[in-house]
Structure 1
Amino acid sequence: MGYDAKFRVWRGDADGGDLQDYTVLANDGEVVLDIIHRLQATQTPDLAVRWNCKAGKCGSCSAEVNGRPKLLCMTRMSTFTEDEVITVTPMRTFPVIRDLVTDVSFNYAKAREIQSFTPPEGLKAGEYRMKQVDVARSQEFRKCIECFLCQDTCHVVRDHEENKQNFAGPRFLMRVAELDMHPLDVAERRDSAQSEHGLGLCNITKCCTDVCPEHIKITDNALIPMKERVVDRHYDPLVWLGNKLFRR
């Protein structure tokens, strides 16, 4: 059985915009993206929204619903009351292109800054051998669909534009941590995590974990262990002494 849902949707572009109110039919079993599509079909054909799979696997329809970063296709209408006003806005951390579509090129730039998987010299593709325990350690991080909700909610970049140059954000620090855990990767990840990707700016509030639609424990399983390994490298007195002796 359907009802008239009250929506408040941000409309505008890079030059500015505002929230506009709409009343639109909502049916049982629908998600917020269904309502946005119905708005396009019946009232606002010029409403811009990015989407693709509608199955929570492509990460395209990222936005903010009632101020919380979410996938529109995974946010069920049944989680709201019928008299509730549902506010849909673009991700706040990234520049608006138009309506609910933002420019997320920042994330692709950060991805390019990370050195790719680097196997030992002379080891050819097809000769890689890993134990299952090593595969399991990083398998969780491979579930990332790059919706960039963790990047959007991270206050280090959300509230401090000046940090964007020196901070990769949780998604890409997780990638660095994943590669550092790989037993066949020989690149120096710990120094670069701190000096190039801004690991020290992360204060582990776990807001990135809270919004991850794949339920990846970004903070507990990637960022905190990476921080611990960096601390061991730079501040553990035994490691420091070993490095001094090794240099001699």
Structure 2
Amino acid sequence: MTTQSIKVTIKRGPDGQGAFDVPAHDNQTVLDVVSWVQQNADPTLSYRFACRVGMCGSCAMMVNGVPRWTCRTHISKVIKDGAVTIAPLRNLPVIKDLVVDMDPFFDKWVEAEGVHHGSLTRHDPIAPVDETSATRVEANAGIECINCSVCYAACDTVAGNPDYLGPAALQRAWTLLNDAKDEGRGAILDAVSGSGGCHNCHSIGSCTTYCPNDLDPMSAIAGLKRETTKSFFRRGR
């Protein structure tokens, strides 16, 4: 990096914003920049992080208007004219500074029936799973979601419709719908076909574009659209 310092603007939710000159270093991440500000310029700055290696997703923020994991985002990739703007994740209430309230995001998982529906007990034999089946492949495709909410922040449908369940919750519903061990098919289809369900998706694809784990929520939502439509016509017979 050729610049000696970085002009950093940090949006602090309803409290306004702060401007800082942060020393530039090689291999510097956005999270490094935020940490420098908190440790050296403004100890009142609040933000979240944990693992720092791209495993937990808790450091997700908006960087120049794009949702990213800040621990895996190098400043050299996002800096423009020696400056960068960092803000809290979009589409979620701001608690303080760069910290957002994740409750609405996780509440959508529950609304989408994104929990395992099982009937076996610990005393029953483990049910066999065909890892090569088409449904298992679909289930595995979204299993690495770590609930970071980047897709939720990227989604314009969520921005315009707060009742929309969102990409992560719907992808989780699709995963369970294709899980041979899950017995909640009817409940899942009912949950994702309601007023805030999968048919609100406009297939813009921001969720898939910005997913740090290279998952494809848009395709999962398309699958739910197909299955809910089939279910509707079957019931109408």
- Pair in the same fold by TM > 0.5: yes
Residue 159 of structure 2 is aligned to residue 178 of structure 1: no
Segment of structure 1 superposing worse, 86-95 or 197-206: 197-206
Can you list the C-alpha shifts for 1:48-86, whole angstroms capped at 9, x where unaligned?
A: 111111111111011100011111111111214573310
Corresponding residue to 1:232 among 214, 230, 233: 230
Residue 128 of structure 2 is aligned to residue 133 of structure 1: no
Can you list the C-alpha shifts for 1:77-106, whole angstroms capped at 9, x where unaligned?
A: 121457331000111211111111111110
Amino acid at match of 1:145: I
Does the 8 Å contact 1:11/1:17 carry over to 2?
A: yes
Q: Distance in 2 between matches of 1:128 and 1:234?
A: 30
How many residues in Structure 1 have an aligned counterpart in Structure 2? 231
Amino acid at match of 2:139: S
Q: Distance in 1 between matches of 2:109 and 2:6?
A: 39
Q: Distance in 2 between matches of 1:115 and 1:143?
A: 14
Q: Distance in 1 between matches of 2:61 and 2:154?
A: 11
Amino acid at match of 1:144: C
Identity %: 27
Task: Find the residue that maps to 1:143 and give its secondary structure.
Answer: coil
Q: What is the TM-score of this pair, normalised by structure 2?
A: 0.88
Q: What is the TM-score of this pair, normalised by structure 1?
A: 0.85
Amino acid at match of 2:142: F
Going from structure 1 to structure 2, the CA distance change for 1:124 and 1:224 (only over 3 Å counts) comes to farther
Q: Mapping of 1:1-248 within 5 angstroms?
A: 3-12=4-13, 16-81=14-79, 83-113=81-111, 114=113, 116-119=115-118, 125-134=124-133, 135-158=136-159, 160=160, 163-165=161-163, 167-187=164-184, 188=186, 189-195=188-194, 197-220=196-219, 222-235=220-233, 239=234, 244=237
Going from structure 1 to structure 2, the CA distance change for 1:173 and 1:124 (only over 3 Å counts) comes to farther
Q: Distance in 2 between matches of 1:82 and 1:133?
A: 46
Does the 8 Å contact 1:6/1:83 carry over to 2?
A: no
Query: Following TM superposition, where does structure 1 have runs of at least 4 consecutive aligned residues deviating by more than 3 angstroms?
Result: 80-83, 119-126
Can you list the C-alpha shifts for 1:159-210, whole angstroms capped at 9, x where unaligned?
A: x2xx334x21110111111111112322212232102751111111111111
Alpha-carbon distance, 1:29 to partner? 0.7
Going from structure 1 to structure 2, the CA distance change for 1:23 and 1:130 (only over 3 Å counts) comes to same
Task: Find the residue that maps to 2:16 and give its secondary structure.
Answer: strand
Alpha-carbon distance, 1:233 to partner? 2.1
Alpha-carbon distance, 1:132 to partner? 1.0
Alpha-carbon distance, 1:117 to partner? 2.0
Q: Distance in 1 between matches of 2:33 and 2:121?
A: 55
Going from structure 1 to structure 2, the CA distance change for 1:43 and 1:120 (only over 3 Å counts) comes to closer
Unaligned runs of 5+ in 1: none
Going from structure 1 to structure 2, the CA distance change for 1:121 and 1:171 (only over 3 Å counts) comes to same
Unaligned runs of 5+ in 2: none
Amino acid at match of 1:71: W
Amino acid at match of 1:152: A
Task: Find the residue that maps to 1:9 and give its secondary structure.
Answer: strand
Can you list the C-alpha shifts for 1:99-152, whole angstroms capped at 9, x where unaligned?
A: 111111102222233263223568955421110124432122111111101111
Q: Which has the larger radius of gyration?
A: 1
